[in-house]
Structure 1
């Protein structure tokens, strides 16, 4: 039955039809009134008074049996499907689901504990816009500080600085792309709702996520060591071509060539999984 038929059927009122038959029978008996007779001499005949006789009551008509009221058959409405259980989007629930995808202790130490979905959406949107959000990271900052060394009157990034990102890359590599993509699809309605509140009309989060990945994948490979210089309180790349890269790309460069290679490989896997799901 089509949806329209179901809707029309629900609008039809219940109609009860009662059929009542009334039968009236009347009978009139006429006796002959007179008959011609030869005259007879009168004869004295004692008169006998005939007492009045009360006529017998006519039998009461039995009422006709009324036909039973016929109710139309009403098609039973199908049972409504049970309401789906609302998805738990609390930080505890999201973090629990993420921790199932990787080593519990390592990932638990790196994940922030509040506004996980909001941070993920805002961070992704900012990455696609070539900016690096300062207060919306999904992971905690490394404990070790950024280090440099000086040689031949020049300042270079200390390779030890790259190692502080290795635990993050280890966790990233441990995530199964298909499992992560399935979890992403599960939380997609909540993600889209958050994204609709911060994005322009017509924007799609899947496309924004792919743009953020493409931005990081376009980060150039550079030989080490990498020369930097201090401008006020910030380190900048001496090579102007590197300094003109976007903030997310420069941050990826600071993870070091090996970590960047591993991160890019994982991003390609995740991008492939999400793209396949869109087809």
Structure 2
């Protein structure tokens, strides 16, 4: 379960990474084209046909009447409409602001919790999200690309009848993160995801492990978290003096990602899953 024994080394409890599972390319301004009016066509003018005089024949010979051939009318030049409406030049697309300050401002605007800005890291937000999400989809945790600061409370266990159990107070250290995540507006999160998708896709092409579209990677990461089993408490653990492990082999065989979500506790995990399902439904509806 990869939780270090606090008696021998500092706790390395991973953060609830899923809080920023949907980051997100400034809206591109719409281009409006005004169709120009059709030019009025002036019918061509035809000149009068001038008859050709024919010399009369000798008196003894019959007079032949020759029909003059009409001349071809001159083609009139089309008139130039000087008041013709001009099609405006399209406005240039605004560049995507992927600076940490811009992204952080967009994320914090989705929640009224001021604590969100305090727990969110300040550097390399876009790359952190892309790398961390790619690792989640691969059932791993990118410890060096965390998006949130660590909780200050330490992981705790208690002993009863020569057996070790996770202390319920260990779950509470994730309650603030869960409250922040569930308070974030899901529709705003999805809009942010759509805005920043081109930038995230470009970054994923640089650092990703596959050539899949990044939105599929996000979907795989969310689906893997939702597949984490829910178990009753208390949860028994064992220690090898450095790491705590789950006694139940079914839990110990879970991926590192699912183990960390499980360690947030039953109630926190229930709320996190509910929020993830809501976000996933909005993404799937796009």
**Shared fold by TM > 0.5?**
yes
Match status 1:153 vs 2:157: no
1:114 to 102, 111, 123: 123
Q: Given that residues 155 and 170 in structure 2 are in contact (C-alpha distance below 8 angstroms), is that contact kept between their aligned partners in structure 1?
A: yes
Aligned to 1:83: 92
Q: Report the CA distance between 1:106 and its aligned residue.
A: 1.4
- 1:182-197 alignment to 2 at 5 Å? 182-197=191-206
Q: Report the CA distance between 1:108 and its aligned residue.
A: 0.9
Q: Report the CA distance between 1:78 and its aligned residue.
A: 3.5
Q: Report the CA distance between 1:138 and its aligned residue.
A: 1.0
Q: Once structures 1 and 2 are overlaid, which stretch shifts more, 74-83 or 242-251?
A: 74-83
Instruction: State the distance in 2 between where 1:201 and 1:268 align.
Output: 25
Aligned length: 208
Structure with the bigger RCO (C-alpha within 8 Å, sep 6+) is: 2
Instruction: State the distance in 2 between where 1:133 and 1:200 align.
Output: 13
Instruction: State the distance in 2 between where 1:213 and 1:201 align.
Output: 17
Structure 2 segments unaligned to the other structure (5+ residues): 1-76
Cα deviation, 1:49-100, whole Å, max 9, x if unaligned, reads: xxxxxxxxxxxxxxxxxxxxx9x96999743212122121100000011111
Aligned to 1:249: 258
Structure 1 segments unaligned to the other structure (5+ residues): 1-69
2:102 to 93, 99, 105: 93
1:220 to 201, 208, 229: 229
Instruction: State the distance in 1 between where 2:209 and 2:140 align.
Output: 17
Instruction: Classify 1:85/1:104 alpha carbon distance in 2 versus 1 (closer, same or farther; 3 Å).
Output: farther
Q: Name the SS for the 1:168 alignment partner.
A: helix
Q: Once structures 1 and 2 are overlaid, which stretch shifts more, 103-112 or 174-183?
A: 103-112
4+ aligned runs moved over 6 Å, structure 1: 72-77
Radius of gyration: which is bigger? Answer: 1
- RMSD (Å) for aligned C-alpha atoms: 2.0
Instruction: State the distance in 2 between where 1:141 and 1:158 align.
Output: 19
Instruction: State the distance in 1 between where 2:104 and 2:216 align.
Output: 24
Q: Once structures 1 and 2 are overlaid, which stretch shifts more, 97-106 or 146-155?
A: 97-106
Q: Report the CA distance between 1:232 and its aligned residue.
A: 4.0
